[in-house]
Structure 1
Amino acid sequence: MVEQGRLEFLDVLRGFAILTITVNHFSQLTFKMGRSGVPVPTLTQFGYSSAAELFIITSGLLFGLVYFGKSQSAFLRKVLDRLAKIYLMNGFLLSLVILFVLSGGSELSDASRMSVNGVLDVSAVRQTLTTMGGPFLLDILPLYIHLILITVLIRLIAPDPARAIMLSVGLYLIGQLTPRAAPVPMFASGFNPLSWQLPFVVAANVALPLRTWLQGQRPGRFVTYFLFAIAIFTPLAICCFLGELWSIPWLKLAGPLTDKWHLGPVRLIHSLLMFAMLSFGFLLLQQWAPRSFMLLARIGTCSLETFGASVVVVYAACAIWLMGPRSSLSYYLLTILAVIAVALFGAGLQKWRVMERKARMKPGAT
């Protein structure tokens, strides 16, 4: 069920998170540009967290599995290589987004925080290049860079996982007390890295023990774990949905407990619960429908490139939506097409990489 090496259900989770993020971001950007009506439903509408937390937890686990078993020199070399790729990807996306917003008019440009009243905001470009924030969707990879740097620093200070987690919890508590208006450049984005590092750092430090634990579980136990997670998740989802529907603040738990920038404690706990529920659900899918499972896994394997594709697809879909009737129908159709485009890109890229790897392994290949 769970074999030695890479945990494939984590690739499925990351692919699921990227597709959900695509839907949420397209909904958010079109709403900023005047769209009305009911957005395409995702788990974000039925809980106190979003797909971003799911992506961070999953990425932290994969980071621990891939990098923590190496020597310190190999660890640092691999991490620096990964950071360079992430930075270059964000710079590439910045250039594409600038082209989109310049050709899409002031509405898309202003909604993306790339301009103010139709005039290009140079500070937004500077924030992106210095990883201290950026326009809409371009502040996510800088957060990822910060999380990796914090994880590396903690690991160098405290190689022991228990001490590393204690340090991470301490930073999280400091992050909860940090005011959003703090005059620190790294706090200028939509995420407080001192708070958001906790799920990433903890996940990275428990990744290897978690794999060992999963290998010792009988497949039948995942049904019990899955049903237990659903039993807890469902009433919370109903409360959040009704709170949004009837605009009841106490039912939505609006405020610091669910604040996204601070990654409030209720938001954090809810995201961990959602991660557990989906993990056991996808582990069951791996057992009962392996073909469907592997198809989903391909989408999340090349996560950096697939996330980059989702950013491009979202901006392209928004530009198309602006040129059309701007109706709910066009929004729904473009959402479906955007998800299909991102899924095909991720699965296609992974298939191409596998074929290229096999070609290099053939005798006589150069």
Structure 2
Amino acid sequence: MVAMTAGPGRETRIDILRGLAMVVIAINHITVAFQIYHLDGRGVPTPSSFGYSSSASIFVIMSGYMVGMVYQRKANPTAAVLRRAARLYVYDGLLLLAVTPVLAMMPAWEATAWSADFLHRSPTEGLLLFLALLRAPTLLDVLQLYVIFMLVTPVALWLHRRSATLLVGVSVGLWLASQFATLTGLLDPAVVEWKFNPAAWQIFFFVPMLLGTRRAHERVFAYLEAHRTMTILLAVTVGAFAAAKLLHIERHVPNSGLLTSKGNLGLLRLIHAPIIIAFYCGLLSWRRDLVASAPMRALACIGRQTLYCYMATVWITYVLAALWYRAGGGYATYLGAVMLAVLLTAAVAVVFDARARRTTAHRKLAITA
């Protein structure tokens, strides 16, 4: 989650991809939270409904890419990355503080459904587990995952400086080890409670980080602009994945849970997420004027302020879901909550993007003064 401001020479299409992922996350959060309280009716369909990767996968990939593209250029990348990790850590704590009033009014069953039972059983011990990045209530674990990745990024940069192949090898090796540990039962799920196993998910962060250091998007967009048939091929592939998901073809494969596992980043998820991103890149390359449209500009704004947008969507998800349940539910109210979450996400992006622009303008003025 790298905050950025618009500027000359900036690739807006990357911001659009991040913004789209953020909007999908906001919708998915509301749907999943309301399903905790037995939402009666189908959830609002999103790209996550038509494949084996969630918007979180796309978000992690794009965030890793941005880290490689932005921090590699810093005079002291290690110090900059660690400062960012500290900031994310503080924000995760503030987010816990913000949702604590909602958690405090929940009975035991409800807290368990939100994965916050560890805080209910023993607040002091639970807080220590949270601060140690070992446990988190639902939705707050994503920020913890980012903190862990940012803390490990200096090591990844060190490996990259010695050999890009070495970095990829270590990343792939950790992912394979995670799959092996799950397949063999080496890790007991009752003990290891990661919703996002960092050893597996790191491949979605550090391999894209490597690509970000090389600004691979420039070649990708140029290739897709010159070869439009590739976007058609990607569309067919995405459609095939969607059909397989809707028909639940994976259930006919032994140990299919290993292939589709979100927490351990199963093979189908590992394959599907990059294909989806490539498809989105193809669509944005098909017509360059599309990028200048109002909806795309709104998505780009959200994509530049993903940290604040994410925090806002988590808080409003807790508040709206708890209120919705206590008010008696209702499908129309659920749809209203989805719309409100999207509008809030956009509003937060506009506010913080304007603030970032003012800050940038003041810095330039100070330099020239």
Check the 8 A contact 1:171/1:195 in 2, yes or no: yes
Check the 8 A contact 1:154/1:167 in 2, yes or no: no
Q: Does 1:182 align with 2:187?
A: yes
Equivalent residues in 2 for 1:290-329 (5 A)? Answer: 290-292=292-294, 293-329=296-332
Match in the other structure for 1:169 = 172
Match in the other structure for 2:260 = 258
CA distance in 2, matches of 1:185, 1:343: 39
Q: Does 1:85 align with 2:87?
A: yes
Q: Which amino acid aligns with 2:96?
A: L
Work out which of the residue numbers 225, 232, 236 in structure 2 matches 1:219. Answer: 225
Comparing 173-182 and 347-356, the one that deviates more:
173-182
Structure with more relative contact order (C-alpha pairs < 8 Å, separation 6 or more)? 2
CA shift, 1:16, in A, is: 1.3
CA distance in 2, matches of 1:321, 1:130: 32
CA shift, 1:209, in A, is: 4.5
CA deviation profile, 1:301-336 (whole Å, cap 9, x unmatched): 112111111111111211221232211221111111
TM-score between the two structures when normalised by the length of structure 1: 0.87
CA shift, 1:67, in A, is: 1.2
Match in the other structure for 1:203 = 208
CA deviation profile, 1:103-135 (whole Å, cap 9, x unmatched): 455565332122379656554433321112311
CA RMSD of aligned residues (A): 3.0
CA distance in 2, matches of 1:110, 1:151: 33
Work out which of the residue numbers 350, 354, 357 in structure 2 matches 1:354. Answer: 357
Equivalent residues in 2 for 1:263-282 (5 A)? Answer: 263-282=265-284
CA distance in 2, matches of 1:304, 1:88: 12
Work out which of the residue numbers 15, 21, 24 in structure 1 matches 2:25. Answer: 21
Match in the other structure for 1:235 = 240
Query: Structure 2: 5+ residue runs without aligned partners?
Result: 1-6
Q: Which amino acid aligns with 1:192?
A: N
CA distance in 2, matches of 1:337, 1:100: 19
Check the 8 A contact 1:114/1:120 in 2, yes or no: no
Check the 8 A contact 1:47/1:237 in 2, yes or no: yes
Percent identity reads: 25
Comparing 181-190 and 23-32, the one that deviates more:
181-190
Comparing 200-209 and 277-286, the one that deviates more:
277-286
Q: Which amino acid aligns with 1:125?
A: L
TM-score between the two structures when normalised by the length of structure 2: 0.87
Query: Structure 1: 5+ residue runs without aligned partners?
Result: none
Q: Which amino acid aligns with 1:287?
A: D
Q: Does 1:128 align with 2:133?
A: no
CA shift, 1:183, in A, is: 7.0
CA distance in 1, matches of 2:71, 2:36: 39
1:240/1:122 Cα in 2 relative to 1: closer, same or farther (>3 Å)?
farther
CA deviation profile, 1:256-278 (whole Å, cap 9, x unmatched): 11111211111110111111111
Check the 8 A contact 1:35/1:328 in 2, yes or no: yes
Number of equivalent positions: 358
Check the 8 A contact 2:260/2:266 in 1, yes or no: yes
Q: Which amino acid aligns with 2:352?
A: L
Check the 8 A contact 1:23/1:40 in 2, yes or no: yes
CA distance in 2, matches of 1:106, 1:140: 23
CA distance in 2, matches of 1:288, 1:218: 15
1:47/1:217 Cα in 2 relative to 1: closer, same or farther (>3 Å)?
closer
Match in the other structure for 2:348 = 345
